[in-house]
């Protein structure tokens, strides 16, 4: 945990945390333990493994490392998917309560929350998370209708795919003042860019599939908290609902985590390079990237984050142009998801769950670790082909 590594920077923790004991001839890397059950030599005690649905020696190092990276006082909890982790987080809302969620967020979280709201589990309110006054007004209104502990504020910053930036500390403090629980999806930023627990957030969520694992080869999720009671409830949900991860997938995620700092550094620097070039391209109507000084969320992101992330969204003239760009790229991969070593491109409204407020011609770019000039050359030729060489001959 963070308390075990008080003097280590996050980029060092990605390499040092979650290692086996230093013993003669012991392995440097943790082994994969493929067992569904464990020896019992006495009556079961709290903390005993007993059965692999509850815990695994292969989960422990990853959970320790991620907990330390997020600055938690406790190990994180790994789940079989990001949506499994989101389901566990939403289970903290009591029946009849309310959830305040960004109108733009991970489509799975929005869809799941909407489905639960339709079943009558809780009331769902969608807000513009970058409009601090509006969110505060929503929390104030809910405080008159709900008791402490009945409301959850769900944060995602930057949002997917609009890259809106929330004032996390202000919103978290206001939510807590009303007795609300706060969950923050930190998938886009990762702990390399921001640690929401330090802003007072109660639970941090990750789609480990994305930046943390980083190689587009595992599907996993995770939650981190410093609250032992909350962790206990989340662990109980994982165990009872079976949203567990396979040991091999978690081992791969830990291996991916070792290079997170380097991958994020490269992706962020390339994203900034591409955003500047795209902002000057006459075929691009708008670039959404908090690293641009002209971006509405720039000042807020600069004040809160240690970087601006590896996602860039652009808006083109129309759907046909956007689809043509995606079809014309040769180095970028047309695919959903994000955070892998390879650069991905997608027109987001192709996804049926994407909110109608996302522009039809918005294209999301997940920037990988390829050569920046090569990525730009491919985007530039795709824009040229998609626009038929118009707009200044580009």
Catalogue the active-site residues.
53, 106, 185, 210
Q: How far is CA 149 from CA 94, 176, 179, 319, in A?
A: 8, 9, 6, 44
Give the pairing type, strands 344-347 and 333-334. Answer: parallel
Judge whether 133 and 167 are in contact, CB under 8 Å: no
80, 221 contact by CB (below 8 A) = yes
Tell me: cis bond preceding 75? Omega within 30 of 0 counts: no
Chain centroid to CA 295: 21
Residue with tokens 């998609």: 386
The Cα–Cα gap between 262 and 275 comes to: 20
**Angle CA(363)–CA(210)–CA(330) in degrees, nearest 5?**
45
Q: Which of 311, 300, 299 is nearest to 268 (CA)?
A: 311
148 and 179 in contact (C-beta within 8 Å)? yes
**Cis before 161 (ω within 30):** yes
What's the CA gap between 258 and 217, in Å, rounded? Answer: 15
**Residue 288 backbone dihedrals phi, psi, to 5 degrees:** -105, 110
The residues that bridge with 37 in the sheet, in sequence order, are 51
Cα 45 to Cα 49, 52, 73, 205, 293, distances in angstroms: 9, 15, 23, 29, 56
The whole-angstrom separation of Cα 26 and Cα 313 is 46
Query: Exposed, middle or buried, 330 (CB in 10 Å: 0-12/13-18/19+)?
Result: exposed
Whether residue 136 contacts residue 190, with contact meaning beta carbons closer than 8 Å, is answered with no
Helix (H, G, I), strand (E, B) or coil at 250: helix
């Amino acid at each position: 945990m963070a308390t075990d590594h008080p003097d280590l920077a996050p980029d060092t923790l990605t390499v040092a945390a979650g290692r086996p004991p230093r013993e003669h001839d012991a392995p440097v890397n943790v082994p994969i333990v493929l067992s569904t059950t464990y020896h019992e030599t006495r009556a079961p005690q709290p903390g005993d493994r007993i059965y692999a649905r509850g815990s695994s020696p292969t989960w422990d190092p990853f959970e320790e490392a991620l907990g330390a990276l997020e600055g938690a006082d406790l190990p994180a909890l790994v789940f079989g998917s990001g949506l499994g982790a989101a389901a566990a987080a939403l289970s903290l809302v009591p029946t009849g309560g309310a959830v305040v969620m960004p109108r733009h967020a991970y489509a799975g979280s929005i869809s799941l929350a909407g489905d639960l709201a339709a079943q009558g589990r809780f009331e769902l309110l969608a807000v513009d998370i970058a409009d601090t006054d509006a969110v505060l007004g929503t929390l104030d209104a809910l405080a008159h209708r709900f008791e402490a502990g009945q409301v959850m504020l769900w944060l995602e910053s930057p949002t997917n795919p609009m890259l809106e930036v929330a004032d996390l500390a202000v919103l978290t403090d206001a939510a807590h003042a009303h007795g609300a629980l706060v969950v923050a999806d930190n998938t886009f930023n990762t702990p390399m860019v921001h640690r929401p627990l330090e802003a007072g957030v109660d639970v941090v969520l990750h789609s480990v599939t994305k930046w943390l694992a980083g190689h587009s080869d595992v599907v996993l999720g995770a939650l981190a908290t410093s609250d032992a009671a909350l962790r206990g409830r989340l662990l109980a949900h994982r165990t009872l609902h079976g949203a567990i991860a396979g040991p091999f997938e978690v081992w791969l995620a830990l291996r991916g985590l070792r290079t997170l700092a380097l991958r994020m550094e490269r992706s962020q620097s390339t994203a900034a390079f591409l955003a500047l070039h795209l902002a000057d391209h006459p075929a691009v109507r708008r670039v959404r990237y908090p690293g641009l000084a002209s971006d509405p969320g720039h000042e807020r992101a600069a004040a809160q984050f240690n970087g601006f992330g590896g996602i860039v969204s652009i808006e083109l003239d129309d759907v046909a142009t956007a689809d043509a760009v995606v079809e014309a790229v040769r180095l970028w991969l047309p695919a959903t998801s994000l955070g892998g070593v390879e650069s991905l491109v997608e027109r987001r409204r192709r996804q049926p769950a994407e909110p109608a407020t996302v522009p039809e011609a918005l294209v999301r770019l997940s920037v990988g670790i390829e050569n920046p000039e090569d990525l730009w050359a491919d985007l530039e030729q795709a824009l040229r082909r998609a626009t038929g060489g118009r707009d200044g001959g580009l």
